[in-house]
Structure 1
Amino acid sequence: MGKRPREESELDDGHPPKRTRPSSTDHLSRLSDELILRVLSYLPVPQLVTCQRLSNKYNILAGDSQLWKSQYYNRFVRPRASRLPGIKDVDDSSGNLHFASKVSRWLDDEHLIKRGSKTNWKRQYKLRHNWSKGSCAVNEIEVAEQAPVPPVIVQLHDGVIYMASQNDGLRAWSAKDERRMLAQSALGGSSHAPPTSMAIDAKEAEPALSRVIVGFEDGAFGLYSLDHAEGRFLHQYSHEPSRNGVVSAVAITYPYAVTMTATQRLSLYCFKVGGRDERRPDGTSPPVLLHSLKSETVWPPLSTSLRTSNSDVVVSVAYALPTYLSGWTVGIQEIRLDQTGRLLETRLASAIDQHYRPLAFSLQPIVHHLPSPTPGSLATSTATELRHIHSKPTSLSYTHPYLLVSHPDNTLTLYLVTSTADALAISAGSRLWGHTSSVSGAHVGGRGKAVSVSRRGDELRVWELEGGFASSAAKKRLATGDLSVQLRPEKRSTNEPAQAGLDLVLNKAALIDGLDESSGLTLIRGWIGFDEENVVVLKEQSQGRQALVVYDFT
């Protein structure tokens, strides 16, 4: 075979050509900051995080608020809008820097837009990412060395944990950053009975004050305000004890307040805004009793809520409901009033149409999560019917329009409540699987996010239930089990170096900070709550020690 002829470049100097080395000149840094931001806008999040580690300049550029605002919208707002019926996505996903500028397009995230430059979009992205992956740090706040009788009442709202007990009174703890007590006060008033229920005003008009209503065993209730600036509770009003029995549930949207007693009596009160009575020790004018209604069908567990608008006031009571031959289902009652307190209407709805079956079992059960029986097989139909029977719910949480019920058979059921001017209805229940032991507590928020905890407290799940399961995509998520993520805490090694950056890809396991597995905390009552940044669970030990376990997603 003949030799390969030499190229002209080889003949000139007698040596083969060398490979061209890459230029060491940083051409990218010569660009203006605006052009670099444009280039960075096309990078995925992991590479964007890597760029922040290059230099101080790129740390600032890659952490630009508009970049992370766009990433936040494309990952969390746009898919959420596509899941909701009646909302169309009008934005072109090809442009990373293009997102909706109207506040209404951000749905329940409009408060982030209204903050303007105060919103840390990178932090918000990390927070939502950690929720979706179940990544969190865990620590505990010791409540009592011995379990009080009756137990402590706990509520979580806007980063503050409220606790009420007969021994320690009313306490407020910070659930953010440093866990510390914000305020403590004795439960003032004429009632010396232990507290049995508590609620926080979620739509407080005064940001510096948070109103708290506490119900007592002797039928009394009290109104308190937490002054965030001064760090103290203000006792505003105490109602005298009542013969109606234990106050089992309360709700407040100032100036309206609702109490529900164990004898199934619901009372609606209205406080006079700005009114004061100098003859009373607390100084606040007593509320006016607008209506008092007695029910014969409301069974615990139950949940009361209070919604107001410019035209009316809506009081809702969601409750468990026994049905003949079909175990238990759920019902809801709504009481509508105008702003003057005049009763407009009261109406009832239940899911009994989906759960009631006649004796002959002649009709196929209308339950989406049960397989269809074989035609002509009475035994199969009867077996399916037996699976269809529901036991009494272990907990119930209602935040319009979501009604979430937990069962002792390791499952939950989600119902959607439709409330219009003409009708009130509860949709067919959708059974949720995921827990491997009995579910003792669950809590659902207004945007469909929910948390649940097993009876022993060793299994917590975060659920994304927004929009229900009417669409094919939602049914697919229900069938594949992609609705929830389990929190699996693991101890953090003391020798493990701290990871720099956002840790968006590798941070898949929950990290423990200060929670000792040998402490033997076991869940007794099953209270659980959450806000934008934390999940809080009240755990008790068989010997009596109590602690609030805080799962921090920041």
Structure 2
Amino acid sequence: MAKRRASDAFGDERQTKRIRAPVTDRLSKLSDELILRVLSFLPLSDLIVSERYDPRSLKTNAGDSQLWKALYYNRFVRPRASRIPGIRDSGIPADSLHFSSKLSRWLDDESLVKRGKETNWKRQYKLRHNWSRGSCIVSEVPVAEQASIPPVLVQMHESTIYLADQTDGLRASSSKADRGMLSRMPLSDRGKGTGNSSPTALAVDTSSGPESTNVAICFQDGSFSLYRLDHDTSAFSHQYTHEPSSNGMLTAVSISYPYLVTMTATQILSVYKFETQQDTESENDILDPPRLLQSLHSHTVWPPLTLSIRPSASNILVSIAYSLPTYLSGWTVGIQEMRMTLSGEIVSTRLASAIDQHFRPLVSSIPSTSPSGTSTPTTPAPFTYSEANQIHSKPTSLSYSHPYLLVSHPDNTLTLYMVSSTAESLSISPGSRLWGHTSSVSGAHVGGRGKAVSVSSRGDELRVWELEGGFGSAASRRKLASGALSVQIRPERRADMDCLAAVAARRDGFGLALDLEDGLDEIGVSRGWVGFDEENVVVLREKGCGGQALMVYDFS
């Protein structure tokens, strides 16, 4: 029998094998403009995969800033634009709001587009995506080996954390990856007659320029000091110290240079104005004493409270938002606005509270904070019985960034109020309860665009809230009812090695570093302060062993 040829025996099998065609690189022959055009049609997942492939032209163009700028616009900007009342009510579909690279400004894009700097839109997209998912890395920065009394004061602005206490003085640290100390200044060198009083309030001037930042500190003896942090030299300079006052301890302060507002524990509010420096003076020279514009007294302002200053070209607007006890309803909130001329004369003063005519505060009337004992009647805002009846306990914190007024409660909830301030009236909307926390809320902070962060009293539960626009629309009310307004921050449990080295340098064989070697300590309580910027959330925690530390949640 004749043998079959190998080709006959395996012919069927070979025919079934797929012949791989040689890979032809056609994209590298195209210009960068055409490659970008092709990549602009890819979905996000395919665009990310394209960065891993050769040729190099494809990898480079897949990370092009204009591509990621368009993706950022479509996901984060266009949904906001479609909620603008003028566009929403006109019936224009959201898909018609196409991206255009020629548009240089968007809604609140000051933090994204800065003069002299090129925006990394891929990084901005990743940062915003991590915020929406609550994805971050947590690290621990030591503050003190023992809890201080009064507690450490903390504020945050432009990626810089400011701390003040009696032991370590005024400090400034970076919230960037290195978490390094920028500057430090003792508070004992404030001047004669100030003694060794403890700091009780801290405020950072958010209107300061890029060259320097003004910081105001109030003290238990009624004095206050003004410092300036130079960003080029990373050094503090002492600008001015006000002598102690017989009015008692200062509990709140706000600064928008040259204006400064303080509040005492006896509910005396003072408005000061510093004289602007002459061109011939040095920035390190001690300022002249400020001029007292107004001294106002009230009997209805209860803590927690917050002060704010909004200067304009023609006048200044001083606001105070505060808690208010009432019959039957327990607690509510109030706000007062004082409009002054640049010389300090009061043009108008208005007061509003979130109660209706059927409820009365514990005092016989609600006078506004006013000089010489005069008062202005309240203009109450609509407030339903069911909402008023829910607020039984005293608020644990209050944060106001116009028009958002956010209050936290020990019953695991928060309440959002929308403040309406026009030339004719001032009013506070009915409160909307926010649910999501599983334990008492000790602190919350709201930004100007309605972004807020809250922390539980245990310090182990943080939530990010998107409150923009309030709850006037049906879509917002549905999100409120479904609990889709917030996302819980779920960090990776990894300590920063630079922080470990910083602890080891000062612990002398004990302290927080021993705890950090085994990971982050879960035992501790929040001190009620939480702050955030574009990249980080910072929480002040008191450890179980008595020490204090800043928990930095990095979303970059």
8 A contact 1:329–1:390 mirrored in 2: no
**By how many angstroms is 1:356 displaced?**
3.5
Q: Matches of 2:400 and 2:200 in 1, distance apart?
A: 19
Partner of 1:216: 219
* Structure 1 range deviating more: 54-63 or 257-266: 54-63
3-state SS of 2:112 partner: helix
- The corresponding residue for 2:134 is 134
Paired residue for 1:329? 332
The AA in structure 1 aligned to 2:480 is L
**Residue 261 of structure 1 corresponds to which residue in structure 2?**
264
Amino acid at match of 2:124: Q
Report if the CA contact (8 A) 1:41-1:96 is conserved.
no
Find the residue that maps to 1:396 and give its secondary structure. Answer: strand
Q: Structure 1 CA distance, aligned partners of 2:294 and 2:217?
A: 19
Aligned equivalent of 1:45: 44
Q: CA offsets, 1:519-550, max 9 Å, x none?
A: 35412421111111110000002432110010
Report matched runs for 1:153-168 at 5 Å.
153-168=153-168
**1:248-287 matches, cutoff 5 A:** 248-274=251-277, 283-287=286-290
Determine the structure 1 residue equivalent to 2:411: 409
**Which of 485, 488, 508 is the equivalent residue of 1:486?**
488
C-alpha separation between the residues in 1 aligned to 2:45 and 2:421?
A: 43
In 2: Cα distance, 1:355 partner to 1:407 partner = 23
Q: Is the 8 A contact 1:326 1:357 kept in 2?
A: no
Residue 328 of structure 2: SS of its match in structure 1?
coil
Q: Is the 8 A contact 1:303 1:397 kept in 2?
A: yes
- Say whether residues 1:531 and 2:533 are aligned partners: yes
C-alpha deviations, 1:328-358, integer Å up to 9, x for none?
0000011110122211011100001299399
Q: State the 1:244 CA deviation.
A: 1.0
For the 8 Å contact 1:395–1:407, the answer to whether it is kept is: yes
Superposed counterparts of 1:56-205, under 5 Å? 56-87=56-87, 93=95, 98=100, 101-103=103-105, 106-115=106-115, 118-187=118-187, 188-190=190-192, 191=194, 192-204=196-208
Mapping for residues 146-545 of structure 1, pairs under 5 Å: 146-187=146-187, 188-190=190-192, 191=194, 192-204=196-208, 206-274=209-277, 283-353=286-356, 356=359, 388-491=390-493, 517=519, 519-545=521-547
Per-residue deviation, residues 410-459 of structure 1 (Å, max 9, x unmatched): 00000010111111000111100000011010000000000000010110
What is the DSSP-based 3-state SS (H/G/I as helix, E as strand, rest coil) of the residue aligned with 2:70?
A: helix
CA drift of 1:265 comes to: 0.5
Q: Secondary structure at the match of 2:300?
A: coil
| Superimposed CA distance per residue, residues 234-262 of structure 1 (whole angstroms, 9 cap, x where no aligned partner) | 00000000011111000001110000111
The 1:552–1:231 alpha-carbon spacing in structure 2 relative to 1, beyond 3 Å, is same
The code of the aligned residue for 2:460 comes to: D
Aligned equivalents of 1:488 and 1:354: distance in 2? 44
Question: Which secondary structure does the structure 1 equivalent of 2:453 belong to?
Answer: strand
Structure 1 residues 259, 276: CA separation in 2 closer, same or farther (over 3 Å shift)?
A: farther
d(CA) in 2 for partners of 1:207, 1:51: 38
Q: Flag the 1:536–1:386 CA change in 2: closer, same or farther, 3 A.
A: closer
Q: SS of the residue aligned with 1:473?
A: helix
Conserved? CA contact 2:456–2:526, under 8 Å: no
How far is the alpha carbon of 1:149 from its aligned partner? 1.5
Query: How many angstroms apart in 2 are the aligned matches of 1:386 and 1:303?
Result: 22
Query: Counterpart of 1:4?
Result: none
For the structure 1 residues 24 and 157, does the alpha-carbon distance in structure 2 shift closer, same or farther, using more than 3 Å as the test? same
1:315 & 1:300 partners in 2: Cα distance? Answer: 17
Distance 2:206 2:86 in 1: 27
1:36 maps to which residue?
35
What is the alpha-carbon distance in structure 2 between the residues aligned to residue 37 and residue 540 of structure 1?
A: 51
Structure 1, 153-162 or 333-342: larger mean CA deviation: 333-342
Q: Return the TM-score normalized by structure 2.
A: 0.83
Distance 2:97 2:409 in 1: 46
Runs of 4+ in structure 1 off by over 4 angstroms are: 15-23, 87-92, 94-97, 275-278, 384-387, 514-518
For 1:17 and 1:450, the matched residues in 2 are separated by 62
**How far off is 1:390 after superposition?**
2.5
Residues 139, 515 of structure 1: 8 Å contact kept: no
Residue type of the alignment partner of 2:423: A
> 1:254-280 deviations in whole A, cap 9, x for unaligned?
1100001111011000000105999xx
115-124 or 451-460, larger mean C-alpha shift: 115-124
TM-score by length of 1: 0.84
SS at match of 1:182: strand
Query: Deviations 1:302-321 (Å, cap 9, x if unpaired)?
Result: 01111111121011000001
Q: 1:61 to 1:94 in 2, by over 3 A?
A: farther
Q: How far 1:518 moved relative to its partner?
A: 5.7
Partner Cα separation in structure 1 for residue 273 and residue 164 of structure 2: 23
Superposition RMSD in Å? 2.8
Q: Percent same amino acid among aligned pairs?
A: 61
- Matches of 1:434 and 1:354 in 2, distance apart? 31
Q: Distance in 1 between matches of 2:285 and 2:523?
A: 40
* Equivalent residues of 2:225, 2:242 under 8 A apart: yes
In structure 1, distance between residues paired with 2:32 and 2:445: 46
Indicate how the Cα distance of structure 1 residues 354 and 229 shifts in structure 2: closer, same or farther if over 3 A, else same. farther
